Amino acid sequence: MDNAVVKSAVGGLETLLRSAKRALWQVEREVFGDPGYGDDEGSYDYPRYSMEDYLAQLNDSLLVVLEAAVMPQARADLIRAWEGFKQRKDGLRYTDDNEEFQNCDSPALTYVERLVRSLRMTVSEEISSEESWTLSRLVAMLEDAPGLVHRRGKILTNEMDLQDVMHDYLSVCFPDFRKNPPIGGTLKNFVPDCGIASVGAAIEFKLAHT
């Protein structure tokens, strides 16, 4: 494997991945009738088609990256899996809709997310398995923040509302969760919304319409 190729490409892949997940989140709101659906600036007019487009871009990019990184088996596995996704009803627009948990899952998106995460892990600086597990769990929870807020049925009016929801989840999952941990600076201290001490993670929550 050519680590330099993977290091250069993984940031762009993760940007596409975030866009695809944002489209999926909007699909979920649409399917389960979120009363706030459509109110956000910058939302997709046709989120399923937007998700399909981002997934196609991810597939095209990954094929090039895996070839350049000399990973023929991973590339072959991706090609084979992608044919299966495209043969489903609705192809890359397909989602598994879980009425009980009001959750939509895209098998194609889940596949590429795991692949990109694996690529990231292969080129990350060496850390302990415990730290790696903690970071992975933290990243997964932060990426699922919209879903966690949605499941709580909390209407957000400001950033404090968002913090209240996420602080509850994070404090339960991470025993070393800290609210407003001060970080020393040259001129003044920086005080983030919260942090996870064991992995040196500081977290700020923001509401953005675009």
Q: What is the pLDDT along the chain (210 residues), one digit of tens a residue?
A: 778 888 888 888 888 888 898 889 888 888 887 644 444 444 788 899 999 999 999 999 999 999 999 999 999 999 999 999 999 889 999 998 888 777 888 999 999 999 988 888 887 654 456 677 788 888 888 888 888 888 887 778 888 888 998 999 899 888 889 998 888 766 677 889 999 988 888 999 988 766
State the pLDDT at residue 1.
76
Here the tokens at position 152 are: 């709580």
Q: For 124, phi and psi rounded to 5 degrees?
A: -75, 155
State the pLDDT at residue 49.
94
H helical segments located in the chain: 3-31, 47-68, 72-87, 107-123, 129-143, 145-152, 159-173
CA angle 55, 61, 63 (to 5 degrees): 105
Here the tokens at position 144 are: 């699922």
Statement: the pTM of the whole predicted model exceeds 0.75: no
Residue with tokens 């990350």: 124
Here the tokens at position 208 are: 């953005």
**Strand pairing report for 103-105 and 96-98:** antiparallel
Instruction: Count Cα neighbours of 156 within 13 Å in the Cβ-side half-sphere.
Output: 24
Please give the span between the terminal C-alpha atoms of the chain, in angstroms, as a whole number. 37
